[in-house]
Amino acid sequence: MSVLKLKLDQDQLVDDFFESTYLVGIVSPVRDYQLCWQVNRELGYRFKVNNTLEINLTKNNRHFHFTVYEDRENIKSVSHYLYNNHCKAEFLMPELKHIDYLWLIKGNYYQVDDIKKLIDQVRKLEFVQLVSIVDIKDLRNRMNLIF
């Protein structure tokens, strides 16, 4: 009896996960919960930490846990995820060391103009120093964002 082996196509998994998504990089010196509190208060979001989405990486026999906050807009079928890019001097996305947080917007509702408006709103927040769109295709470690 022969055994059929199935191989997971990681490239297809990554492409499927990032279909209809936008990624925004945020530079802010405050803790993740403080940033989420301000985004929730000033912009009307409902970000909450989701421990089931926490991303765990192991590098050089050390374990790192990257917090993920989540907000869902059920009416628009859109999910928002705010990733902490730092953990104990390690980075979730090493190619974005200058970025503190990554805001992933997943769903078909928002268009580029909507994302630009969101960036303008986030840029006005007290604790935010820089906000910009990140091109997902340019990231080598995109797999790290998949939970």
pLDDT digits (tens, 9 = 90+) for 81-133: 999 999 888 899 999 999 999 999 999 999 999 999 999 999 999 999 999 99
Q: What is the pLDDT of residues 62-77, one digit of tens each?
A: 889 999 999 999 899 9
If one counts every other C-beta atom within 10 angstroms of the C-beta of residue 95, the result is: 13
Secondary structure of residue 11 in the 3-state scheme: helix
Above pLDDT 70, what percent of the chain? 95
pLDDT at residue 127, rounded to an integer: 93
What is this structure's pTM?
Answer: 0.88
Residue 79 has pLDDT above 90, yes or no: yes
Domains of the chain: 11-145 (3.30.310)
Average confidence score pLDDT of the chain = 90
pLDDT band at 6 (very low <50, low <70, confident <90, very high): low
Residues in contact with 60: Cβ distance below 8 Å, sequence separation at least 6, in sequence order: none
pLDDT band at 13 (very low <50, low <70, confident <90, very high): confident
Residue 16 has pLDDT above 90, yes or no: no
Residue 9 has pLDDT above 90, yes or no: no
Q: Give the separation between CA 70 and CA 57, rounded to whole angstroms.
A: 19
Contacts 24+ apart (CB under 8 A), 130-135: 130/25, 130/26, 130/27, 131/24, 131/25, 131/26, 131/27, 132/24, 132/25, 133/22, 133/23, 133/24, 133/25, 134/23, 134/24, 134/25, 134/96, 134/99, 134/102, 135/23
pLDDT at residue 17, rounded to an integer: 83
**Residue 91: C-alpha distances to residues 9, 24, 57, 133 (Å):** 25, 16, 10, 18
